[in-house]
A and B are shown apart, each in its own frame.
Chain A
Amino acid sequence: MEVLRRTIATHKAMGTRLVIVIEPGLSSLVLDLDLDEAVLLVVDQELAVLRVLGEVDGDLDEALSVQCAPVEQRGVDGCGRAVRGRGLGGPAAILSVPSDPSCTVTPIPRRR
């Protein structure tokens, strides 16, 4: 969890939004929800941060440390620009997009 808090602090300093992509298989561990799709947590405001942290059930650091087979890369559409997940190989990706109010974040369909 502290790794997440520090990542958020860095994004606040940069004026960017933080997007965390969590694999479906981990959503029950991280969010106490059994989801079929990947979860996007967009953290860009104090209230949003508090809400996300409040929903976490379990240790997010442990969730991030789970090893698995390489996952396909995901992306978000930030201001019309595709931003690919990077540093993947684990179950989560940390992405950043400019903190522009007109910037929308939508999931790109996972590759089969």
Chain B
Amino acid sequence: MGSGRDVWAVTACESGEQIPYVVAVPVEATDAQLLSFARDAQTRGEMLGSPKRKGPMRVLREKMPRKGVGSLTDGVDDLFIEEWTSEVYFLRESVYGLTTYHHVRDWILTPAYSARIRAVDPFEPQFELWKRGASVVSTWGPLGDGVAVFVK
């Protein structure tokens, strides 16, 4: 490619074609900064109906496990599907292919949603976390009930 950057590919769920994407180089951040974004994400999620989470909030600088983790803002995730517009429908997969991270996709498309969602802008903190190579999730089971910020 000549860019010195890794290019990865995912298979599009609708068209089945291979989508190339570039992995972003994360910005360094302290635990305090990451936790601030995570708390903001939790607050904004609760404003739109995501359940309150119990337990501690921590930063784990390790690979996120496949089990015992879930979306911190699942109520908002559902809302974003319920309130699809034609603009969102047509741009959704195209925008997803940019980063292959669904909360970044939803942050980009937030202006196409209702005024209630735009006012909260629920995924702004997740976008800031993504720029720092991090993502926030709820945890249970072996990880214990709580909220965790995983950093690559």
On A, residues with C-beta under 8 Å from B are 2-3, 6-7, 10-11, 13-16, 61, 64-65, 67, 79, 81, 83-84, 86-90, 93-94, 96, 98-100, 102-103
A15 and B49 CA atoms in complex are apart in Å by 35
| Interface pair B99/A10, CB less than 8 Å apart | yes
Task: Report if A86-B15 is in contact (Cβ < 8 Å); known contacts: A10-B104, A64-B87, A65-B90.
Answer: yes
Task: Report if A7-B90 is in contact (Cβ < 8 Å); known contacts: A61-B112, A65-B112, A98-B22.
Answer: no
| Interface pair B3/A98, CB less than 8 Å apart | yes
B48 in the interface, Cβ–Cβ < 8 Å? no
B1-45 residues with Cβ-Cβ distance < 8 A to A are 1-5, 7, 12, 15, 17, 19-25
Give, as a whole number of angstroms, the nearest-CB distance from A10 to chain B. 6
On B, residues with C-beta under 8 Å from A are 1-5, 7, 12, 15, 17, 19-25, 85-87, 90-99, 104, 107-112, 127, 130-131
A50 and B86 CA atoms in complex are apart in Å by 28
Interface of B is mostly: helix
| Interface pair A64/B22, CB less than 8 Å apart | no
Give, as a whole number of angstroms, the nearest-CB distance from B145 to chain A. 32
Give, as a whole number of angstroms, the nearest-CB distance from A3 to chain B. 5
Task: Report if A96-B21 is in contact (Cβ < 8 Å); known contacts: A65-B85, A79-B2.
Answer: yes
Interface of A is mostly: mixed
| Interface pair B97/A87, CB less than 8 Å apart | yes
Name the one of B23, B91, B112 contacting A87, with C-beta atoms under 8 angstroms.
B91
